[in-house]
Amino acid sequence: MSKKNKANLRRRIVGSKNVLQERFINQKKINQINEALTKKNIPELRKLATRGGLVNNGLRRLCWPLLLHYETYDKKDIQEEHKDERQVLLDVDRSFVYYPKGISNAEKKQKQSELNDVIVGILRRHPNLAYYQGFHDICSVLLLVLGNKEAAIKAGENIAMFLLRDAMLDSLEPIMRQLTLLNTLIRLEDQAVADFLENSNTLPYFCLSWVITWCSHDVRDFSKVARLFDFFISSDPLISIYLSARVVIHRRKELLTLECDSAIVHTFLAKFPQYIDMDELISKTIEMYNKYRKDPPLVLQKAINEALDETSCAKLYEQYWLKLKADDPIDYLAVDKIPSPSLPSAKKSMQIKNARKQNNLKPDKIAVMLIIAIIFLLLVISRKFNTNI
């Protein structure tokens, strides 16, 4: 046998061993998931969902209902329209661009019709919620994974009420303040990257769509999106901020070679890296989150206190969500009664003003950057529409 044939044979043998090993690991994980499902062990299922994921969509259809605390669809025929239904329809018309692959126009139209029913169904159940552009991306994933609009409505309802409620208020201002946590987390983890972002006057709004769509608007590989949803569904509402910080740090080598210019840096960072290893990213995010969760440094405590309102779903996560057991009923009425945060107080405005001084940013520079960020966000949101033209 020639050296070339021997090398090919060795590669085939190694490849076969790797396949067998992966199958063994997956089967072990599947057995662990099935055991947690049988026992309705939500804490264990959260661990399995975050560390390695739920393997496939078949298991997700079984696990997500338990993780999101619903079993059956309670049909509610609500005729009164929600104020945001027109905007929902506009966004639905430009949905399902990157996935699912290989569907006909007729199938796509059917999916869009179902998606509209899902979003409208959620909003009509809770008229105090405000739709935002990007929530249709969340619901698209739920519909594709769970397979029917009834399950997607229940899953989306609980995500909207307990995990993404801060984005579903009349203003995105609470979310914009939460994004400022990104700077603090990056500085705690990587001084060089933090200094570069500060010197370039780069504001953290480049990751807004990652946070409010759980990366589903930016990541084109659906298997990676589903893997991320396993993680987000099982985690603290702020975990998307931690993940965003890890993405930035992951790109430090490329980032630090850029010209120190806000527009250039913002454009570079706003493009989510498609090549990134999701399991490694999630693992490092968990590591960072656990590092600061129990005993956060004073600078992070202060940043969290300034970024979060008392009614934030991140602050009420343990009280209203984490304590729920498998068969506990959800008190939607109590959550619906949680007041929306008021506009920033004079004290809060002074804190923001002081933060600007610390960053050596002039008010007019902030205004210009805010306009740039908003324009960029609108361009990103309209990307799907343009793809369809």
Q: Give 11-44 pLDDT, tens digit per residue.
A: 666 555 555 556 656 889 999 999 999 999 999 9
218 with 138: CB under 8 angstroms?
no
Using a cut of 0.85, tell me whether the model's pTM lies above it.
no
Q: 10 Å Cβ neighbour count for 23?
A: 10
The answer to whether the beta carbons of residues 149 and 118 sit under 8 Å apart is yes
Contacts 24+ apart (CB under 8 A), 89-92: 89/116, 91/133, 91/136, 92/116, 92/119, 92/136
Query: Which pLDDT value is given to residue 349?
Result: 37
Q: Is 226 helix (H, G, I), strand (E, B) or coil?
A: helix
Q: What is the predicted pLDDT for the residue at 373? A: 53
Mean pLDDT within 292-320: 92
Given pLDDT bands bounded at 50, 70 and 90, which one contains residue 79?
A: confident
Residue of higher predicted confidence among 346 and 76: 76
Distance CA 295, CA 301 (A): 9
Give me the chain's average pLDDT, please. Answer: 86
Structural Rg of the chain based on CA atoms = 22
Question: Does 49 have pLDDT greater than 50?
Answer: yes
SS3 334: helix
Alpha carbon of 122 to those of 125, 131, 138: distances in Å? 5, 10, 12
Distance CA 204, CA 182 (A): 7
pLDDT category at 263 given cuts 50, 70, 90 is very high
pLDDT score recorded for residue 71: 81
Categorize the per-residue pLDDT at 74 as very low, low, confident or very high, splitting at 50, 70 and 90. confident
Confidence check: pLDDT of 338 > 90: no
